């Protein structure tokens, strides 16, 4: 699974430009699903028929990562940019960015009048080494992603875009391990989650599931002087109770807890103050869908050095496989 995660995290795919990730995933799941298709927004659907087709599950992980988009090429070939998704200015200067055509750039900053203040994006630019506007290999509208290699050491993994390539990897592993699910399961690798859960919204309308599970990352609160939260690396998949966008259906949450305890899989609870997932959009699709989330606690989310625990990933796969092998219980 480590090789799969390395390939996924090192692939380019900002929101709206998920093509390369989708191609990689389609190749990895070849032969594992009964039906595979892509929709208008770029979501990839893989249906695995179950023992009982009277109910449908939707399991989602998003393919897109946060990134930047070029807004202006100045006369000297420097690129001004805006954010794609939740990019924070602190931590941008000095970061490497790669574009869809493989061109690499670095983020530079104008001189600061007040060194105590964090400059906003409009004081930054990307330098790809171009000599002038005409010879720039990058144009207005081109999207860039962070550029970092995957590293595994002492049971901890470091990469960019674990959010949410780790979710995609978990879905793929689940597809591999699941002989035949109880219900029909639509594994959906969604597009454009980071810019407003847009892919999930239309995917949920199309599938019209009876229940749904999103697999995403959550924050970890086990680093120095961090904002308080319950989640820690190594304590198992986090069963979400509530985040900034949804309150998880209590029946879903209870079913996840019961299943984890039955199967002897470690788990922890998650309450996230800032941020949400695809489940937020799925929950309010059509007439409403009972939805839950399994999250992999991740330090330094939305940076180039996201870190998670390998055992949490394995246990999330185990729990998802267990859940999808059983009858859903929402009482």
Name the residues annotated as catalytic.
193
Out of 30, 35, 52, 71, the only residue in the binding site for other proteins (CB under 8 A) is 71
Beta strands of the chain (E only): which ranges? 35-38, 44-48, 52-62, 67-73, 79-84, 96-99, 104-109, 124-127, 143-146, 151-153, 156-159, 183-190, 211-219, 238-242, 268-271, 291-298, 306-309
Out of 6, 56, 160, 198, the only residue in the binding site for other proteins (CB under 8 A) is 198
Establish if 38 lies at the interface with other proteins (CB under 8 A).
Answer: yes
Q: Strands 104-109 and 96-99, how do they pair?
A: antiparallel
Secondary structure letter of residue 199 according to DSSP: H
By beta-carbon proximity to other proteins, the closer residue of 104 and 139 is 139
Establish if 101 lies at the interface with other proteins (CB under 8 A).
Answer: no
Q: Spell out, one character per residue from 201 to 230, where the chain touches other proteins: x when CB under 8 A holds, - when not.
A: xx--xx------------------------
Both tokens assigned to 235: 């304590």
By beta-carbon proximity to other proteins, the closer residue of 121 and 221 is 121
Closest distance between other proteins and the C-beta of residue 140, in Å?
Answer: 5
Establish if 174 lies at the interface with other proteins (CB under 8 A).
Answer: no
Both tokens assigned to 252: 């879903």
Under 8 Å between Cβ of 174 and 318: no
By beta-carbon proximity to other proteins, the closer residue of 55 and 80 is 80
Out of 11, 15, 291, 325, the only residue in the binding site for other proteins (CB under 8 A) is 15
Q: Beta-carbon neighbour count of residue 137 at 10 Å? A: 14
Establish if 84 lies at the interface with other proteins (CB under 8 A).
Answer: yes
276: β partners: none
Q: Rounded to whole angstroms, what are the CA distances from 327 to 57, 174, 176, 187, 197?
A: 11, 17, 20, 17, 28
By beta-carbon proximity to other proteins, the closer residue of 208 and 329 is 208
| Binding footprint of other proteins on the chain (CB under 8 A) | 15-17, 19, 22, 37-43, 69-72, 74-76, 80, 82-84, 122, 139-141, 192, 195, 198-199, 201-202, 205-206
């Amino acid at each position: 699974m480590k090789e799969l995660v390395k390939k996924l995290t090192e692939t380019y795919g900002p929101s709206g430009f998920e093509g390369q990730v989708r191609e990689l995933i389609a190749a990895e799941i070849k032969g594992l699903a009964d039906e595979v298709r892509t929709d208008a927004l770029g979501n990839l659907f893989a249906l695995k028929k179950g023992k009982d087709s009277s109910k449908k599950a939707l399991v989602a992980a998003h393919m897109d990562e946060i990134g930047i988009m070029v807004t202006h090429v100045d006369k000297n070939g420097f690129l001004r940019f805006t954010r794609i998704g939740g990019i924070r200015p602190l931590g941008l200067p000095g970061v490497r960015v790669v574009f869809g055509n493989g061109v690499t750039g670095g983020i530079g900053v104008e001189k600061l009048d007040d060194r105590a203040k964090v400059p906003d994006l409009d004081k930054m630019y990307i330098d790809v080494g171009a000599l002038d506007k005409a010879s720039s290999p990058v144009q207005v509208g081109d999207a860039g992603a962070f550029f970092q290699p995957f590293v595994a050491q002492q049971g901890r993994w470091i990469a960019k875009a674990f959010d949410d390539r780790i979710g995609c990897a978990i879905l793929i592993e689940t597809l591999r391990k699941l002989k035949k699910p109880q219900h029909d399961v639509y594994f959906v690798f969604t597009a454009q989650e980071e810019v407003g859960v847009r892919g999930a919204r239309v995917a949920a309308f199309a599938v019209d599931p009876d229940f749904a599970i999103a697999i995403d990352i959550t924050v970890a609160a086990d680093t120095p002087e961090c904002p308080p939260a319950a989640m820690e690396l190594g304590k198992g998949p986090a069963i979400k109770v509530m985040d900034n966008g949804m309150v998880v259906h209590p029946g879903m949450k209870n079913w996840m807890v019961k299943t984890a305890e039955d199967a002897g899989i470690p788990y922890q609870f998650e309450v996230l103050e800032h941020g949400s997932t695809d489940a937020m959009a799925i929950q309010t699709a059509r007439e409403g869908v009972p939805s839950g989330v399994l999250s992999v606690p991740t330090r330094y989310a939305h940076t180039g050095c996201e870190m998670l625990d390998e055992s949490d990933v394995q246990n999330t796969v185990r729990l998802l496989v267990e859940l999808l092998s059983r009858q859903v219980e929402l009482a």
